[in-house]
A = this chain, B = another copy of it.
Amino acid sequence: MAGRTNEARSLAAKGGSEGEGAVLDLQRYFPYRLARLAEQVSLAVAEVYSERFALTRQEWRVLALLGGRSEIATKQVGPLTTLDKMQVSRAMQGLEARGIVTRKSDPDDRRGLIVSLTPTGRALYRKIVPFALARETKLLSVLTAEEAEVLDRAMRKLSAELG
């Protein structure tokens, strides 16, 4: 461990001493770095669904959610995609207009709607998902198995702390 000269580059490097002359180095500030990375990743994935298939981020989330099941009540979509109800409503309208989903009234709650993928939507899902998964795999392949595991754990911890 003799060569440890640049310790200051790691996370949570404090600025000055205390309270008073505190300095925040943006390039090392964790929230900034995380926002930046998330944006980079988001952009890389958006190439798949946005440029090739003209979906918005919200539409993509809904499609991704729906791919795994035959149908779902619209009211459940928000919590599962981290979209508010207005975003869900607009995403649904967009997807319906393009023939990707259909909506029918929920017999158990006549305020609500039940969404399902059309055959077109299912075909789209099958076309996009392999690319999306490939992006994820390729990206994560720069990490060692141990790094991926710790990253996973760290993200869970941080998310739980804020939830």
Contact = CB atoms under 8 A, between A and B. Distances in A.
Interface residues of A, number: 68
A147 interface: yes
B129 A82 contact: no
A25 B68 contact: yes
B136 A40 contact: no
**What is the oligomeric copy number?**
2
B153 A139 contact: no
A11 B152 contact: yes
A19 interface: yes
Contacts of A10: 148-149, 152
B133 A40 contact: no
B45 A15 contact: no
